[in-house]
Amino acid sequence: MSPVSGPLRVRVPASSANLGPGFDALGLALGLHDELTVEATDDGLVVEVRGEGAGEVPLDDTHLVVRSMEAAFSLLGERPAGVRLTCTNAVPHGRGLGSSAAAIVGGLVAARALVAGEDRLDDLMLLQLATDLEGHPDNVAPALLGGLTIAWVDGAAAAAQRLDCDVPVTVFVPPEPVSTERARGLLPDTVTHADASFNAGRAALLVAALTAAPDRLISATEDRLHQTYRSLAMPDSYALVRRMRVEGVPAIISGAGPTVLAFARGIDDFCPPGWVVHHLDVDPHGAVVLPAS
């Protein structure tokens, strides 16, 4: 089968994982997007990056989007002779907004579309491949499916349940990143039964709050499993979360941080100097293939 002629565009959203108590399980797709333009060529690889990551990420076959595309081509048993890839990125890197998940899902969706492989690589298979590449499904699930997702792994099989969700979101992005590895390395090997029980109840409440009972969000976003431990890597972010919560704002650390996410509007006065504010909606679509411009 010949690759699709002409360029394709793929839009993929940022995502926030954990959402407070839903550690490694809950994720939310956000209305901040990376966009990929891909085109099959006769020979070779050309990569261009604009926006976030420009001048920092590699422009060869080690680029995460390219590696993800290659994984899809290998599974599909088909690849073009060459690829021209342009990444126009708006999702900040290293800030807990799912930039790597966006790159992985975007690359997989782009590769599938480029060789017309939708009938051979459905979304469930793509979720599995994305999870294998990312190492966990909590960000790749909302990046692929949109909305609010509950993601889990049975044995080695990734799965996700998508739910509709319409809540206001404000994110406060600090100027400096924190690596996921550093943030995860601060977590203890064990937690108390009381803390595990607390988070299980709050995670269940959070699903209800985000889908049907937003007045419960301040209680539903309480967490005892990860945010306090990670505060050493992001003291300013943790202090901002605590300050906002004292004022009744349901605020959390987004993913592994250091971005702070709040389910509210009209709270820009909380933003520390030098940070960037984004007012976002929940993205209901996930990764989509767009008409070529």
Q: Tens of pLDDT along 114-160?
A: 999 899 999 999 999 999 999 999 999 999 999 999 999 999 999 99
113: three-class secondary structure by DSSP? helix
147 and 198 assigned to the same domain: no
Domain membership flag for residue 2:
no
Q: Per the structure block, which two tokens stand in for 169?
A: 């979101």
pLDDT at 189 over 60: yes
Percent of the chain having pLDDT more than 90?
Answer: 93
Domain membership flag for residue 3:
no
The annotation status of 219 as a binding-site residue, yes or no, is no
CATH number at residue 91: 3.30.230.10
20 and 76 assigned to the same domain: yes
The annotation status of 102 as a binding-site residue, yes or no, is yes
Strands (E), 157-201: 157-163, 169-173
Q: Number of H helices and number of E strands within the chain?
A: 9, 11
132 and 204 assigned to the same domain: no
Domain membership flag for residue 1:
no
Give 205's pLDDT tier (boundaries 50, 70, 90): very high
CA neighbor of 102 nearest in space, from 203, 210, 165, 11: 11
What pLDDT sits at residue 104? Answer: 98
Percent of the chain having pLDDT more than 70?
Answer: 98
What pLDDT sits at residue 184? Answer: 85
Q: What residues have CB less than 8 Å from 109, skipping those under 6 apart? A: 10, 12, 126, 144, 287, 288, 289
Decide which of 1 and 219 is more confident. 219
101 and 245 assigned to the same domain: no
Phi/psi region, residue 64 (left: phi>0; alpha: psi -120 to 50; beta: rest), is alpha
Which residue range(s) make up the domain with 78? 8-163+282-290
149 and 204 assigned to the same domain: no
What pLDDT sits at residue 161? Answer: 98
Domain membership flag for residue 81:
yes
Task: Produce one character per residue of 153-184: b if its CB has 16 or more CB atoms within 10 Å, e if not.
Answer: eeeeebebebeebebebbbbbbeebbebeebe
The number of domains in the chain is 2
86 and 138 assigned to the same domain: yes
Strands (E), the chain: 8-18, 22-41, 44-51, 82-89, 148-154, 157-163, 169-173, 251-253, 260-262, 276-280, 288-290
The annotation status of 72 as a binding-site residue, yes or no, is no
39 and 136 assigned to the same domain: yes
CATH number at residue 268: 3.30.70.890
Using alpha carbons, list the distances in angstroms from residue 115 to 75, 108, 121, 130: 12, 11, 11, 18
212 and 87 assigned to the same domain: no
What pLDDT sits at residue 180? Answer: 83
190: three-class secondary structure by DSSP? coil
Neighbours of 271 (CB within 10 A): 15
pLDDT at 293 over 70: no
Domain membership flag for residue 80:
yes
124 and 143 assigned to the same domain: yes
What pLDDT sits at residue 99? Answer: 97
pLDDT at 5 over 90: no
Q: Tens of pLDDT along 37-95?
A: 999 999 899 999 999 999 999 999 999 999 999 999 999 999 999 999 999 999 999 99
158 and 190 assigned to the same domain: no
Give 194's pLDDT tier (boundaries 50, 70, 90): very high
Amino acid (one-letter) located at 175: P
User: Which residues are registered as beta bridge partners of 137?
Assistant: none
The annotation status of 245 as a binding-site residue, yes or no, is no
Q: Tens of pLDDT along 29-44?
A: 999 999 999 999 998 9
Q: Per the structure block, which two tokens stand in for 110?
A: 């782009």
Using alpha carbons, list the distances in angstroms from residue 252 to 38, 39, 114, 155: 35, 39, 38, 30
pLDDT at 170 over 80: yes
Give 6's pLDDT tier (boundaries 50, 70, 90): confident
The annotation status of 95 as a binding-site residue, yes or no, is yes
What pLDDT sits at residue 1? Answer: 56
What pLDDT sits at residue 2? Answer: 62
The annotation status of 216 as a binding-site residue, yes or no, is no
114 and 207 assigned to the same domain: no
What pLDDT sits at residue 140? Answer: 98
pTM of the model: 0.96
What is the overall mean pLDDT for the chain? 96
pLDDT at 292 over 90: no
207: three-class secondary structure by DSSP? helix
Domain membership flag for residue 37:
yes
Domain membership flag for residue 15:
yes
Amino acid (one-letter) located at 75: L
Judge residue 59's burial from the number of C-beta atoms within 10 Å of its C-beta, 0-12 exposed, 13-18 middle, 19 or more buried.
middle
What pLDDT sits at residue 75? Answer: 96
72 and 202 assigned to the same domain: no
What is the average per-residue pLDDT within 245-255?
A: 98
Domain membership flag for residue 109:
yes
What pLDDT sits at residue 50? Answer: 98
70: three-class secondary structure by DSSP? helix
The annotation status of 94 as a binding-site residue, yes or no, is yes
pLDDT at 3 over 90: no
- Residue 98 near residue 14, CB atoms below 8 Å: yes
